[in-house]
Amino acid sequence: MSIAPELDREEQAIIAVIARETDTFVRRDFDAWCGCWVQDERVRLVSVSSAFGVTVQEGWPALSHYMRAVFDAGASCEIVSFERRNLSITRRDGIAFVTFDGYSTHTDQRDEHTVEARTLEHTDDGWRIVYASFILRGHQSDHADRVAVDANGNILIATDRARAALSNHPGLQVSNGRLRAKRPSWDKVLQAGLKDAAALHGYCQHYRFATQHGRAFRLPVVLGEDDEGGITVCLLSVRDGVTFVELQSDTDFDHRLAAAKAVFGLSDGQVSLARHVVNGDTLTRAAAELGISVNTARTHLTRMYEKTGVHSQTSLVRTLLCVA
């Protein structure tokens, strides 16, 4: 890694140690990696991931033992390239505090974005790391059917699979890099939902919502009814300070329908039909899938209208999915 020329000599030395710690980690050179650290009880390594939670290694004996096991098992990251952006260095009285965003590409072509911090101390042997933390921003390797958007609906992250799903989605589309609904009336509903989600992008706002409601924010957005009578739905959630739009979320819908069954006293047959309606099936298609007549499906639908107090499939889906 080249050191930015605008940094002074001490700052270049600090970044060189940080870069060497990353490089030796990737190469699994344990002795060289150890040489980047102050080796006493003050050291801390804090790792944060939305998928794996938080781990903290405290003190040099615990950290070195942990990292030796990582290196021996070949479990360090297989990074092809790493770039530091938004670099900030504060230095005073032999202590340096460094923050930066990390952008890495791995051997499997996966890209990751981290938010990182380092505290270094100037010793007789030069600058050495006392504290390191990194936060892995949420990625979509295991969430291929959702896209991430910012507060204005601009697409930030979308896997190839998600983009393919969007191109065939009955209600959503991408217009000039922004997520929109295909009909003006639907887009009004979508943009209102995205606005509600964006209000919770801040940690404190989302934390308050979760404590008040007993759960993280998840909003089913019922866009409307298509020309064939199917209902178009997507699900919004918030994580890592962005909004995720889930194009398919059968597990979450099943949970909500189970709650709606208890609240409204729905029969098994009615819930089975509701599941198909929620997934966008027309009444005719749902009846065929369930092996019942269209008249029986209409009877189930009428009974659900009576129990929920609504008079359209769009209102029914919205009511059923908003229970939990």
Residue 231 has pLDDT above 90, yes or no: no
Burial class from Cβ neighbours inside 10 Å (0-12, 13-18, 19+) for residue 295 reads: exposed
User: What per-residue confidence (pLDDT) applies to 254?
Assistant: 81
State mean pLDDT over 259-277: 91
Backbone angles phi, psi at 166, to 5 degrees: -65, -40
User: What per-residue confidence (pLDDT) applies to 149?
Assistant: 92
State mean pLDDT over 9-21: 96
- In this predicted model, which residue has the larger pLDDT, 34 or 166? 34
- In this predicted model, which residue has the larger pLDDT, 304 or 144? 304
User: What percent of the chain is modeled with pLDDT above 90?
Assistant: 54
* Model confidence pLDDT, tens digit, residues 102-130: 998 888 877 888 999 999 999 999 999 99
Residue 77 has pLDDT above 90, yes or no: no
User: What percent of the chain is modeled with pLDDT above 70?
Assistant: 94
Average pLDDT score over the chain: 88
Burial class from Cβ neighbours inside 10 Å (0-12, 13-18, 19+) for residue 123 reads: exposed
CA distance 200 to 237: 10
User: What per-residue confidence (pLDDT) applies to 107?
Assistant: 86
Please state whether beta strands 155-158 and 146-149 pair in parallel, antiparallel, or not at all (unpaired).
antiparallel
Residue 250 has pLDDT above 80, yes or no: no
CA distance 85 to 1: 13
- Which has the minimum average pLDDT: 58-72, 214-228, 282-296? 214-228
Residue 96 has pLDDT above 90, yes or no: yes
- Which has the minimum average pLDDT: 16-30, 141-155, 264-278? 141-155
Confidence of residue 141 (pLDDT cuts 50, 70, 90): very low
User: What per-residue confidence (pLDDT) applies to 158?
Assistant: 84
User: What per-residue confidence (pLDDT) applies to 1?
Assistant: 45
CA distance 39 to 276: 60
CA distance 191 to 176: 15
Backbone angles phi, psi at 165, to 5 degrees: -65, -40
Residue 14 has pLDDT above 70, yes or no: yes
Confidence of residue 255 (pLDDT cuts 50, 70, 90): confident
